[in-house]
Amino acid sequence: MNFLNNLNITPTQQITSIEIVLNLLLAFILGILVAYVYRITNRNKAISQSFVITMVILSMVVALVMMVIGNSIARAFSLVGALSIIRFRTVVKDNRDIAFVFFALAAGMGAGIGNYSIAIFGVATILILLLLLDFIHFGSQPKGVYLLRFQLIPTDADTSAFQQIFDRFLTSFSRLSVKTVRMGQYIEHSYLIRLKRDVTDQELISHLTTIEGMDRITLIADESEAEM
């Protein structure tokens, strides 16, 4: 019984109506900034409008949740139990998207507890650093690096058929895998390649298509692909 009584040993902090509105407005602004930087750093990808709006909503909802919990441990455990019944059907595929979701949650938490200095300066610092990483293209693949896949009818000279094209248009290439497809009628080759500076991806594909028995050429770079 003493343990249960100690759960509410700290009285719940009373928040005025003005503070509630200010906390939610700050969470909204911070959520907008996080979503905006997310769009900037993902400008070369298809972005879901629902996901962007969800980050703004999460920031405000978490701020409200933090005000509801206050200093009550019992409320915190009750809220965790209530939220555990929620199931999300959308699968987040990109790890960076998960990081931005946590970022929006942290912004909402800072605004919800009324710690404006941490919320504002913390979010601002992280956003500036994220924009800096995007500006310098941190962690991006070197230009001209592709994953090449193609299917070829097996012949005695199938390797030499595209070897000459590789030597002409590529600075380097390494074989990743070779396997049979379509009941053994074709052999699928996978290579990690790097194009020469004056060579375009379309030029490489157009020359590969001239090989007799060539089919389904796929060139993949930076999570986008062009297929013939």
Domains and CATH numbers, the chain: 2-135 (no CATH), 145-227 (3.30.70.260)
Whole-number Å distance between alpha carbons of 103 and 31: 9
- Residue holding tokens 């012949």? 155
Alpha carbon dihedral 107, 109, 114, 116, in 10-degree steps, equals: -20
Q: What is the pLDDT along the chain (228 residues), one digit of tens a residue?
A: 444 444 444 444 578 899 999 999 999 999 999 999 999 988 877 788 888 998 999 899 989 988 888 777 766 676 666 556 555 555 666 788 889 988 998 999 899 888 899 999 999 999 999 999 988 878 766 666 888 888 888 775 567 778 888 888 888 888 888 888 888 788 888 888 888 888 888 888 888 888 888 888 888 875 444 444
- Residues 161 and 212 sit within 8 Å (Cβ to Cβ): yes
Query: CA 193 to CA 197: how far, in whole Å?
Result: 13
Best CA proximity match to 76, nearest among 12, 120, 20:
12
- Specify the pLDDT at position 178: 86
Are 145 and 192 in contact, with CB atoms under 8 Å apart? Answer: yes
Q: Look at residue 33 and give its three-state secondary structure.
A: helix
- Please tell me the predicted confidence (pLDDT) of residue 224: 47
Q: Alpha carbon of 210 to those of 32, 64, 192, 219, 223: distances in Å? A: 51, 63, 21, 16, 26
Q: Measuring CA to CA, which residue among 88, 90, 130 is closest to residue 107?
A: 130
